């Protein structure tokens, strides 16, 4: 007999074979109930001592929560059962026992704190709420890929072990690479640029590593980025692409994840876009007495933007040059063609037009205290026919966190890597 998923069983008549996890057991001595769960839903199973048989009826009593079972039974209408159907058990088999007690509370409103849930993430993933987050994250990735393929962009893979920093700064994880020193990639920045200079429109979902020591609810030491790069484009062009891309992602989540959004009590609206300069944001924040750095927005300023412009992707452009990495194209002496995108009160992306002129790039590397020799291959790539180009990167966990209103970015990673965690 072929296995039916629970969702299908609700539409079936007659005998079904179900497989899944024991969600709940209720024992009323002559009649026993199990709520069985699989990835598609939950259904009530019923065992009646006189009909189910002694052995199966006894097994029902001994089942611990989260044990895996296989059941053959008859689907019946039932007014009392959740969803109006139940399965009268004919045969039941224990496939995998779950030890008792479970190390964490796996109920819908788990009382276990996040760090402990993460210690037992494999078990936390039995919870519908946790599953819902990662079903939505799967849609976010699918939608990003659909969008980019419709744009005519080429999907790319880049190396994760690289010879030098790709973002500047000191937050590098060093790697001993045979006789040489290398590091884990902070981004695919230099590679996506080199690729866009021939393939024009390129995108990637790329894992990045940042050895930032701080421990916050919005930073990870290993995260994933949606990267995009386009030739013959400036900052304005790629901001417009990013606006449409986030718009498409939210639309797809609303279409494909109705059940998950309801379970997580999330109400989404398709976002609009707003363009504003860094200087204008500084002015606005003065009114609210909110601190803005000379070349960076504070978390408080980002939150305020989220409040002032709800359900809006706020593009803060004309960013001060000193606040942007070496590869961002200067705009005059002090400004740049770099931007950040703020959504629901937090940065989801940064990007901008890049420097495609070798001499200017060398000057900017030096200005940032970096050694141009270490970037030779990258700088040289712009010597043999490299057009102007621009792009951006969006944090996958950030956008998941913001779309779902999660309080901690660790909720949006299956197996987070932070200052204190490299396992599981």
The residues that are catalytic are: 210, 212, 218-219, 347, 350, 398
Residue from 106, 316, 348, 355 in contact with ligand AMO (CB under 6 A): 348
Cβ 310 to ligand AMO shortest distance, Å: 19
Using CA atoms, how far residue 390 sits from 24, 41, 42, 117, 152, in Å, is: 54, 44, 48, 40, 16
349 belongs to the binding site for ligand AMO (CB under 6 A): yes
Cβ 187 to ligand AMO shortest distance, Å: 4
Using CB under 6 A as the binding criterion, the count of chain residues that bind ligand AMO stands at 22
The region of 113-121, 156-164, 308-316, 345-353 touching ligand AMO under the rule CB under 6 A is: 345-353
Contact in structure between 393 and 227 (CB atoms under 8 Å):
yes
- State which residue, 382 or 392, has the beta carbon closest to ligand AMO: 392
- State which residue, 89 or 238, has the beta carbon closest to ligand AMO: 238
Residue from 47, 73, 345, 391 in contact with ligand AMO (CB under 6 A): 391
Cβ 230 to ligand AMO shortest distance, Å: 11
- The CA distance from 192 to 328, in Å, is 14
- State which residue, 39 or 161, has the beta carbon closest to ligand AMO: 161
Contact in structure between 65 and 102 (CB atoms under 8 Å):
yes
The region of 4-12, 83-91, 107-115, 220-228 touching ligand AMO under the rule CB under 6 A is: 220-228
Site for ligand AMO in 161-180 (CB under 6 A): 167
Residue 199 half-sphere exposure toward CB, CA atoms < 13 A: 16
- State which residue, 36 or 413, has the beta carbon closest to ligand AMO: 413
Tokens read off for 254: 């609303």
Cβ 395 to ligand AMO shortest distance, Å: 3
Contact in structure between 76 and 94 (CB atoms under 8 Å):
no
Cβ 104 to ligand AMO shortest distance, Å: 25
How big is the CA angle at 252 (ends 251 and 257), to the nearest 5 degrees? Answer: 110
Residue from 212, 296, 300, 363 in contact with ligand AMO (CB under 6 A): 212
Burial readout 390-414 (b: 16 or more C-beta within 10 A, e: otherwise): bbbbbbbbbbbbbbbebeebbbbbe
- State which residue, 238 or 362, has the beta carbon closest to ligand AMO: 238
223 belongs to the binding site for ligand AMO (CB under 6 A): yes
The region of 16-24, 314-322, 346-354, 364-372 touching ligand AMO under the rule CB under 6 A is: 346-354
Contact in structure between 315 and 341 (CB atoms under 8 Å):
yes
Using CA atoms, how far residue 120 sits from 41, 101, 127, 424, in Å, is: 22, 13, 12, 8
Q: How far is CA 226 from the centre of its chain?
A: 10
Residue from 44, 67, 137, 187 in contact with ligand AMO (CB under 6 A): 187
Residue from 219, 236, 274, 421 in contact with ligand AMO (CB under 6 A): 219
- State which residue, 44 or 221, has the beta carbon closest to ligand AMO: 221
Tell me which residue has tokens 């078990």: 123
Angle between helices 128-151 and 235-256 (to 10 degrees): 140
The region of 43-51, 114-122, 155-163, 395-403 touching ligand AMO under the rule CB under 6 A is: 395-403
Cβ 348 to ligand AMO shortest distance, Å: 5
How big is the CA angle at 351 (ends 372 and 261), to the nearest 5 degrees? Answer: 140
395 belongs to the binding site for ligand AMO (CB under 6 A): yes
- The CA distance from 209 to 207, in Å, is 7
- The CA distance from 362 to 222, in Å, is 29
Cβ 352 to ligand AMO shortest distance, Å: 6
CB within 8 A of 16, min separation 6: which ones?
4, 9, 72, 73, 74, 75, 87
350 belongs to the binding site for ligand AMO (CB under 6 A): yes
Tokens read off for 239: 């901001």
392 belongs to the binding site for ligand AMO (CB under 6 A): yes
- The CA distance from 333 to 2, in Å, is 70
210 belongs to the binding site for ligand AMO (CB under 6 A): yes
R_g of the chain computed on alpha carbons? 26
- In the complex, the residues that contact ligand AMO under the rule CB under 6 A are 167, 187, 189, 210, 212, 219-220, 223, 225, 227, 347-351, 391-395, 397-398
């Amino acid at each position: 007999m072929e296995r039916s998923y629970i969702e299908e069983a609700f539409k079936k008549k007659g005998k079904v074979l179900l497989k899944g996890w024991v969600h709940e057991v209720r024992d009323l001595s002559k009649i026993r109930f199990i709520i069985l769960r699989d990835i598609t839903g939950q259904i009530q199973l019923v065992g009646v001592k006189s009909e189910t048989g002694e052995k199966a009826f006894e097994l029902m009593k001994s089942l611990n929560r989260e044990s895996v079972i296989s059941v053959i039974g008859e689907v019946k209408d039932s007014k009392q059962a959740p969803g109006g159907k139940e399965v009268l058990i004919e045969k039941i088999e224990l496939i995998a026992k779950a030890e008792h007690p479970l190390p964490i509370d796996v109920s819908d409103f788990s009382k276990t704190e996040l760090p402990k849930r993460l210690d037992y993430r494999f078990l936390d993933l039995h919870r519908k709420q946790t599953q819902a987050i990662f079903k939505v994250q799967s849609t976010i990735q699918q939608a990003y890929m659909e969008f980019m393929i419709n744009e005519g962009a080429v999907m790319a893979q880049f190396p994760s072990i690289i010879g030098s920093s790709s973002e500047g700064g000191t937050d590098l994880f060093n790697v001993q690479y045979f006789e040489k020193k290398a590091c884990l990639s902070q981004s695919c920045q230099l590679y996506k640029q080199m690729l866009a200079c021939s393939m024009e429109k390129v995108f990637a979902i790329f894992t990045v590593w940042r050895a930032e020591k701080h421990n916050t609810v919005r930073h990870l030491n290993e995260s994933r980025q949606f990267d995009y790069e386009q030739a013959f484009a400036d900052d304005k062009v790629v901001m417009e692409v990013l606006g449409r891309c986030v718009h498409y992602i939210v639309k797809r989540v609303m279409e494909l994840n109705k059940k998950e959004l309801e379970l997580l009590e999330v109400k989404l609206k398709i976002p609009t876009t707003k363009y504003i300069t860094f200087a204008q944001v500084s002015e606005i924040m003065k009114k609210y007495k909110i601190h803005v750095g000379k070349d960076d927005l504070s978390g408080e300023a980002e939150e305020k933007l989220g409040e002032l412009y709800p359900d809006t992707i706020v593009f803060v452009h004309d960013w001060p040059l000193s606040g942007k990495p070496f590869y961002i194209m200067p705009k005059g002496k002090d400004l740049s063609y770099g931007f950040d995108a703020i959504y629901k009160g937090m940065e989801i992306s940064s990007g901008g037009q890049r420097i495609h002129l070798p001499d200017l790039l060398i000057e900017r590397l030096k200005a940032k205290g970096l050694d141009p020799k270490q970037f030779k291959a990258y700088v040289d790539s712009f010597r043999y026919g490299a057009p102007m180009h621009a792009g951006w990167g969006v944090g996958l966990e950030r956008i998941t966190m913001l779309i779902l209103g999660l309080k901690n970015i660790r909720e949006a990673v299956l197996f987070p890597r932070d200052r204190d965690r490299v396992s599981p």
